[in-house]
Each structure stands twice: as C-alpha cells, then as structure tokens.
Amino acid sequence: DIQMTQSPSFLSASVGDRVTINCKASQNINRYLNWYQQKLGEAPKLLIYNANSLQTGIPSRFSGSGSGTDFTLTISSLQPEDVATYFCLQHNSWPYTFGAGTKLELK
C-alpha cells in the first residue's frame, strides 16, 4: 500500500499568513493527488485535484504543486473561514490512501 505522510499535523497561523501543508507518498503517484478541506461535522470538500488543478468554485488563494512523491498545498493569504482540517488523497493505485490530516487553527 502507498503510505501518505502528511505534515504538519497541527498548524497555527494568523489571518493573512501564507500557509503550506505537505504530503509525501511512499512511492511515485505521478500527479494523482487531491487536497480536501473538512470542517467539523461536514463532508470533505475538494480543493485541488491532480496535484495542481483548482476545483470549480474554490478561491484562488488555494493552490497545489508537486508530482511524483512530494506535494504541497498552499493558502496564499489565510482567511478566518479557512479554519478546518486538510488532508490529501492519492488515487494513483489501489488501495487509495489518505494523509492523516492537518488541523489548521487561527493564532
């Protein structure tokens, strides 16, 4: 199985800060990596698919980069509504696997 190592697991930042979250795959997953935002009690929401494509309706302050084994989600200017847990998903090969999540809070 492909292991997805996500870091950090917890992040505290201020409004307007640039925030980065990383996912490292245990083997090459090409660009088959999605990023999600999940707020308490809600379903995950797709932010970025295939490493760097912005899902329709998602603000442009969210961006993704990377390929192969190393991937990054960037929020260019943190907003209060971005407080949530973020996680990655690899859909290159079965079984599909998720990162453990990054809990983002406001400082």
Partner 1 sequence: QIQLVQSGPELKKPGESVKISCKASGYTFTDYAMHWVKQVPGKGLKWMGWINTYTGKPTYADDFKGRFVFSLEASASTANLQISNLKNEDTANVFCATGGMSPFAYWGQGTLVTVSS
- Which residues sit at the interface with partner 1, rule CB under 8 A? 34, 42-46, 49-50, 53, 55, 87, 89, 91, 94-101
CB of 80 to partner 1, least distance (A): 23
Nearer to partner 1, 17 or 98 (CB): 98
Residue type, 10: F
Nearer to partner 1, 44 or 68 (CB): 44
CB of 91 to partner 1, least distance (A): 5
- Nearest Cα neighbor of 78 from 95, 64, 61, 92 is 61
33-38 vs 84-90, strand pairing mode: antiparallel
Nearer to partner 1, 76 or 98 (CB): 98
CB of 46 to partner 1, least distance (A): 5
Return d(Cα 13, Cα 92) in angstroms, integer: 32
